[in-house]
């Protein structure tokens, strides 16, 4: 006789957190599951094509000097995403409503319509630029075999005590960060390290599947102190 009892449903426990290498974000530093760490910095944009020929040459030489000055690895990330102009359109509408001058009101209204049509016809992309300075787990003395075992076990925390990894990472990363900030300043590019909240928001927006960016991060303040954010 056939057993017609419904099969037991096994819940799927896999989540995004189990498949990414981020273990934690604390003290503005990203910690990875294999014992590494990283500082993420946002870089301002530079419109190279609008510079004069002499200015372009100066920037090119400065960039070459910047790369030659590096004794450590960096990663450059350019992130493109669709620009949300809803708040800007609402701002234009509010300004138009405030106007007592009829001509200015019409002009602002026409401009609002123009922007809305442009966004509707084509995707307006917003680009963000980041410089990432990694801290390798090998700098903690972790062997290749040990790192492979760590990744194979898919553990959720770093293989060493978190405070120990943070202390070592800060000792190595902070001088590198300061060097990158100084060298970028010679290029006319402002570089600023992301806070714990900003790093958490960045990765939440990257891994979200509904396409809606998170404007507020998940981190909270308790008694005036920042609480580490697990991603």
The pLDDT tens digits of the residues spanning 15-59 come to 666 677 888 999 999 999 888 999 999 999 888 888 999 999 999
Planar angle of CA 48, 53, 57, nearest 5 degrees? 75
- Regions of the chain with pLDDT less than 50: 12-13, 151, 216-231
The DSSP H or E segment spanning 222 is strand 221-222
| Residue whose tokens read 């801290």 | 135
Planar angle of CA 224, 225, 228, nearest 5 degrees? 145
* Residues with Cβ within 8 Å of residue 187, at least 6 apart in sequence: 46, 59, 62, 63, 66
- How many other C-beta atoms can be found within 10 angstroms of the C-beta atom of residue 111? 13
What is the predicted pLDDT for the residue at 213?
Answer: 54
> What is the span of the domain harbouring residue 53?
22-80+127-208
What is the predicted pLDDT for the residue at 29?
Answer: 95
- 75 and 112, same structural domain? no
Beta bridge partners of 43: 129, 191
What is the predicted pLDDT for the residue at 62?
Answer: 93
- 196 and 92, same structural domain? no
pTM greater than the 0.75 cutoff: no
Please state, in angstroms and rounded to a whole number, the distance separating the CA atoms of residues 185 and 84: 30
What is the predicted pLDDT for the residue at 58?
Answer: 93
- 138 and 59, same structural domain? yes
Length of the chain: 231
Tokens for 21, please give them.
Answer: 């290498």
CB 31 within 8 A of CB 199: no
Tokens for 89, please give them.
Answer: 């359109």
Q: Is residue 16 part of a domain?
A: no
Q: Is residue 223 part of a domain?
A: no
- 190 and 141, same structural domain? yes
- How many other C-beta atoms can be found within 10 angstroms of the C-beta atom of residue 35? 26
What is the predicted pLDDT for the residue at 231?
Answer: 42
- 170 and 137, same structural domain? yes
Q: Is residue 156 part of a domain?
A: yes
Radius of gyration of the chain (CA): 24
- 76 and 28, same structural domain? yes
- 131 and 184, same structural domain? yes
Q: Is residue 99 part of a domain?
A: yes
Number of domains in the chain: 2
What is the predicted pLDDT for the residue at 145?
Answer: 53
Please state, in angstroms and rounded to a whole number, the distance separating the CA atoms of residues 114 and 116: 5
- 104 and 183, same structural domain? no
Give alpha helix (H) positions in the chain: 16-19, 53-69, 86-98, 102-121, 144-153, 162-186, 196-207
Planar angle of CA 38, 150, 19, nearest 5 degrees? 70
- 139 and 89, same structural domain? no
- 143 and 37, same structural domain? yes
- 137 and 63, same structural domain? yes
What is the predicted pLDDT for the residue at 35?
Answer: 86
Q: Is residue 138 part of a domain?
A: yes
């Amino acid at each position: 006789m056939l057993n017609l009892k419904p099969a037991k449903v096994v819940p799927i426990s896999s989540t995004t957190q189990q498949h990414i290498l981020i273990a934690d974000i604390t003290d503005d530093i990203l910690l990875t599951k294999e014992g590494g760490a990283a500082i993420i910095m946002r870089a301002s944009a530079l419109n190279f094509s609008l510079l004069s020929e002499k200015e372009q040459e100066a920037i090119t030489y400065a960039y070459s000097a910047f790369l030659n000055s590096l004794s450590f690895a960096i990663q450059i990330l350019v992130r493109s995403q669709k620009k949300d102009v809803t708040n800007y359109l609402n701002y234009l509408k509010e300004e138009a409503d405030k106007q007592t001058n009829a001509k200015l009101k019409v002009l602002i209204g026409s401009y609002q319509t123009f922007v809305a049509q442009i966004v509707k016809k084509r995707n307006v992309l917003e680009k963000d630029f980041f410089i990432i300075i990694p801290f390798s787990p090998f700098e903690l003395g972790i062997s290749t075999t040990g790192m492979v075992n760590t990744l194979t076990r898919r553990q959720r925390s770093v293989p060493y005590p978190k405070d120990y990894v943070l202390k070592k990472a800060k000792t190595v990363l902070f001088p590198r960060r300061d060097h990158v900030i100084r060298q970028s300043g010679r290029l006319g590019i402002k570089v600023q390290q992301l806070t714990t909240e900003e790093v958490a928001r960045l990765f939440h927006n990257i891994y979200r599947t509904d396409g809606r960016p998170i404007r507020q991060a998940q981190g909270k303040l308790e008694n005036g102190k920042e609480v580490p954010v697990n991603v």
